[in-house]
Every structure is written in structure tokens, then in C-alpha cells.
Amino acid sequence: MGTAVISHDECLEHVTPPGHPEQVARLDAVRGALEGLDVAHVTAPMAAEDDLLRVHPKSHVDAIKAAAPSEGWRSLDTDTHMSAGTLGAAYRAAGAAVKAVDLVMSGEAGNAFCATRPPGHHAERETAMGFCFFGNVAIAAKYALDHHGLKRVAILDFDVHHGNGTQDLVEEDARILFCSSHQSPLYPGTGAAHETGVGNVLNVPLPDGTGSAAFRAAWERQVLPRVDAFKPELIIISAGFDAHKADPLAGMMLETADFVWVTNVICDLADRHCQGRVVSALEGGYDLAALGESAAAHVAALEERSR
């Protein structure tokens, strides 16, 4: 079946102000690094309004539409900016995650990676923040439950920042397990271990300077047993690569090999519980060389497991 990589050139039209870390060059770096891998390339569709409304109220979707400028930039907060191409890119990023679920659930792909931007895991129900506008992975999880009739979906987030938006969108839905390892303290200041939702949220805060051994131990002792016990029918990954030691926005010290390791242990879980079904969506990663290398290693590991 193989791995599907879902992307769209419209995701390059989300242009941020000069010097902003979430820049067009990020997606160029990822897509360039994926060249030569044995994957199927799929065009990301626009998200359907109904899919956005699974997690966001209409007032939020309407507010994002209304904020979209015809030229220049509009700032929603000090970090989150819209250009003329942002709205289309955000719809493509959410649509890619939904398309990935369809491809994996139908068996057309063994697993899938969404090479899209803007990212989504900071977008709360009614708040765009942290470079994010819509909760892409939460949208995909709710779609999988509602459209494909699944009973249990796990979202696993190894971005260096806590996925506060994803947590906000799923913490009252016991059908979704959300596990996040992240540096703490760090933006956005959420993700304490005591934040447990309705028993469906596991936060694993890690200190500045955390390296390979401590990161892997945290996953082995906390995340993997929790997912095993949950027995998901689909696993969705928030794949942020900003815990890499080269990243300028945080202080964890992971190597590219750690992203290969975590990809493989997630695939082991998927093999045990959900016929290998994994959907991954790009989140952070702001050193271009490290981002490209790490994303390519992640997708190569997915491709190897999808054969």
C-alpha cells in the first residue's frame, strides 16, 4: 500500500512577515527533503465546512474568514498573522488531514504524512494562536470517528510545544486519547501533568535540555503503555520537529535518530492495535536543515513500515 504524502502548493501562499519563524521556506525544506522517497504524492483538497465545524464553532470559522486580508498582513496576535493566501492554505492543511484519514481507512495507503502549513495544534475552539488557525489533527480524529465509525482514536504529539489547541478540542471526548510530550516551561504555558481531561489526556512535560535518553524513557514509561491500554483503531501524529537540538525556538536536545525511533514505536503500536493505520501531520520545526532532515527521516520510517 505504501505511504501517501499529501500537500498542495497553496500552502506556500501563506506568507508571514519577514523574520517570522513559520515561513514559506519551511515547507520548501520539507518537500525538497522528501524528493526521492518512494511515496505516493496526493493533492490536498480544501476542507469541507462541516469538517471544520466538528471541532470549531461557526463563529470561529467565520471570524477567520473575515480576518483574511486581500493584501499585506493582518495580525490576530503577536505570533499569528494572515496574508492573502493564508485562508486557502489553512483549508488545505485541514483538508489534507481529512484526506489522509480516508486514504488510510480505505487501505489505499498504509499510512500518510501531511506536508502542509499552517500547523494546527495550538488552535483552540475559538482562538487562532501560535501560528495556527484550525485544529487539523483534532478535525481528522473527529472525522475518523464520525465518518468511518471508529470508536477509539489516539493523537500523539511530540512537538516541543504543548498542543494546547488539540487538548482544548478533544479533552471532553473520551473516544480520543491525547498524549503530548513537550518542553516545560515553554510557550504556550499549558500541558501540566495534572491536566487530564475526562481521563483521556496524558501530558508529559520535560525540562529544558532534555536529550535522547530522557525523551525515550518518558515515552517508554508513560506514553506507550497508555496507548497500549487504550487500543486505538487509528493513530494520528502531531509531528513537530522543533525538539531537535538545532531548533532556535526551544531547548530540547533531540537528534534526528530520535524522530526515527519515536516513529517506529508508534508504528509498533499501530501494528498491534489498528492494522498499521497511522496519519501524521506536520506541526513545528524551525531550523530549516534540521526540519528537512527530520521530516525526511520520519517519512522514510513510515514508508519502510507501510510495505
pLDDT, tens digit, 9 for 90 and up, residues 184-196? 999 999 999 999 9
pLDDT, tens digit, 9 for 90 and up, residues 101-137? 999 999 999 999 999 999 999 999 999 999 999 999 9
Q: What is the pLDDT of residue 80?
A: 98
Task: Name the band, by pLDDT with cuts 50, 70 and 90, for residue 165.
Answer: very high
In this structure, which long-range contacts are made by residues 204-207, counting pairs with CB atoms below 8 Å and at least 24 apart in sequence? Answer: 204/179, 204/180, 205/162, 206/181, 206/182, 206/252, 207/183
Catalytic residues: 122
pLDDT, tens digit, 9 for 90 and up, residues 73-102? 999 999 999 999 999 999 999 999 999 999
Task: Name the band, by pLDDT with cuts 50, 70 and 90, for residue 307.
Answer: confident
Q: What is the pLDDT of residue 103?
A: 98
Q: Which residues pair with 10 in a beta bridge?
A: none
Taking 90 as the threshold, does the pLDDT of residue 243 lie above it? Answer: yes
- Which residue stretches of 182-287 are H helix? 212-218, 224-230, 256-273
Backbone angles phi, psi at 232, to 5 degrees: -65, 155
Backbone angles phi, psi at 43, to 5 degrees: -80, 130
H or E element at residue 192: none
Percent share of the chain, pLDDT over 90: 99
Mean pLDDT computed over 21-32: 98
Name residues whose C-beta falls within 8 Å of residue 268's C-beta, 6 or more positions apart in sequence.
none
Q: What is the mean pLDDT of the chain?
A: 98
Taking 80 as the threshold, does the pLDDT of residue 1 lie above it? Answer: no
Asked if residue 180 lies in contact with residue 284, where contact means CB atoms within 8 angstroms, the answer is no
Reported pTM: 0.98
Amino acid letter for position 29: A
SS3 17: coil
Taking 90 as the threshold, does the pLDDT of residue 280 lie above it? Answer: yes
pLDDT, tens digit, 9 for 90 and up, residues 41-56? 999 999 999 999 999 9
Which residue segments constitute the domains of the chain, with CATH numbers given? Answer: 3-306 (3.40.800.20)
Q: What is the pLDDT of residue 34?
A: 98
For residue 36, what is the DSSP state? T
Taking 90 as the threshold, does the pLDDT of residue 208 lie above it? Answer: yes
Helix/strand number for the chain, H first, E second: 10, 10
Q: What is the pLDDT of residue 221?
A: 98
Task: Name the band, by pLDDT with cuts 50, 70 and 90, for residue 146.
Answer: very high
Distance CA 306, CA 270 (A): 11
